[in-house]
Amino acid sequence: MINRSIMAASTSWSLSSLMFVRYLRTHVACRLPRRVTVGPQGEASARVALPLSEKELQAIAQEQLVKDEVPETPKKRRPTRISALKDEPEKEKKGKPKKKEPPQPVTEENQFQRLAETVTPLCEVPYVKQLKIKERYCRSVLQQLGQELNKVRAPLERTANKLPCVLEPIRHSPELVAYRNKDEFGVYSGVDGNPKTVGFFIGRPRESNLVCVPPSRLTNVKESHKLVAESFQSFIRQSPHEACHNFQRGGLWRSMVVRSTTAGERMAAVIIHPHNLTEEGIQEVMEELRTYFFEGEGAECELDSLYLQACPHTRCTREQAPYRLIAGKEYITETCLDLTFQISPDSFFQINTRGAEVLYNTIKEVAEVSPITTLLDVCCGTGTISLAMAPAVRGTIGIDVVTGAVEDARKNAQRNNIENSVFMAGKAEEVLPRLTKELNQCADVVAVVNPARQGLHRDVIRSLRRCEAIQKLIYVSCKPDGDAMKNFVHLGTPHKATTGKRTVPFLPKYAVPIDMFPHTNHTELVMLFERV
């Protein structure tokens, strides 16, 4: 059947002559007059009598339009696969689907292109289309959520689009290039075999194809961060200490975290594995770093703060391995929504500062807070959401299991002269029951949860459901199709608590996607849940 767009184009003669002839050969060759020709060996063959005049071609096309035009049957739309954002290639109708070709090995010629495809897979896609891809992804997340809630017989109210809740159009990032305010660069072997290459990893250690590529051509990384990474690479290549690729094989240099603010302040934290290094040896390393970055070649990075952490594990909290200030200021200061936040080496802060402003304003809008609202901020981190919401509510209560984050939150509240915010350290499932009596006396309680990618522990979900004062809950997730999906389902499942008391579930009512990570596959999704 003739494609409608081609038919219209052929009628209006908007196609070039060459394109239209190709079209005729493909779609209407059977209608063209044919003539018999004799080949050099005497064989007879029939072929289309071309060229034809423009008038003849148009007449043939019009005749074909009338005879072949049949109303198309609308195809059923297949839900977008959550694990893939880009448009999927069409599968063959017959036979087995083609096997996915293994990626090409990383070489000196293609390393930067391969890194861009890994870290920013949508960098070559126009931004308007990126937003459409991410909207489609969020729609598929809600479709999956609706299916999961149907399985547990949750009393859903479907929208006109058959989604479990309203999905608003995606809100774009104010900044598209060099928006990251934090990067962690690893140390590993580069494509040239140098074991002291600083950058991002491609491949997997188990498959023995892991390689490190410098970030010099990534669009979402600041030039100042790239300069610090390049300088650090130069420094460790001059150092007698080896890189630490494997804890059992020794080595010192592991990674570097670079942070910066919109005002241009810069902080770097060097992560090492101490192994058998003595305290005197650590002090020597710190002095070498200080000399290089503040008096030597690395001074061009203009660091405001330089730290070192001697971490013997994969990840270390400040309690396990304190950050040692090598030189400069203890912290740098970021401004967001006219508030100032001190940034320490391990402080949590959204990696897109201007995007964070969009996020916090969206939370305030979706929650519909008022001067009588009490905000319960679970996984509060350094208090950014609590402090951003504090001027619009009666008070905020922040809870976080990380003691250091709670300390930073309290300091940030003092710095901004905010007196209606309280921050408590501890597990949410242990702190919430102690607050139940006080919260039950509040007129309007709204909970906000912004956990890491692994989502909330089931005990936290249970505690939130048991706290009857909470009537609205905002869930912020950067990976809603992962473990957060289990949280969504647990929130909406009609079941009894472990005490035997039936708790009223939370059901999705509203969703707003926010593009905090342009050129990547990730999207921040703000979900409003309300009691049934």
Strand residues in 8-125 grouped as ranges (E): 34-38, 44-48
Beta strands 444-449; 373-378: pairing state: parallel
Q: Is 152 left (phi over 0), alpha (psi -120 to 50) or beta?
A: alpha
d(CA 255, CA 276): 18
d(CA 184, CA 270): 10
Q: Is 478 a catalytic residue?
A: yes
**Catalytic: which of 230, 297, 524, 530?**
524
Count other Cβ atoms within 10 Å, centred on residue 276. Answer: 6
**Catalytic: which of 287, 295, 478, 530?**
478
Local structure of 393: helix, strand or coil: coil
Q: What's the burial of 465, exposed, middle or buried (CB within 10 Å: 0-12/13-18/19+)?
A: buried
Local structure of 261: helix, strand or coil: coil
Q: Please state the separation of Cα 62 from the chain's center in Å.
A: 50
Question: Structure tokens of 167?
Answer: 């999905």
Looking at the chain, how many residues does it have?
532
d(CA 475, CA 511): 10
Residue 222, φ and ψ in degrees, nearest 5? -70, 150
HEC assignment per residue over 306-363: EEEEECCCCCCCCCCCCCEEEEECCCEEEEECCEEEEECCCCCCCCEHHHHHHHHHHH
Q: Is 524 a catalytic residue?
A: yes
Question: Structure tokens of 448?
Answer: 């906000």
DSSP string, 469-491: TEEEEEEEES-TTTHHHHHHHHH
Half-sphere CA count of 274, side-chain side, radius 13 A: 19
Q: Which residues are catalytic?
A: 478, 524
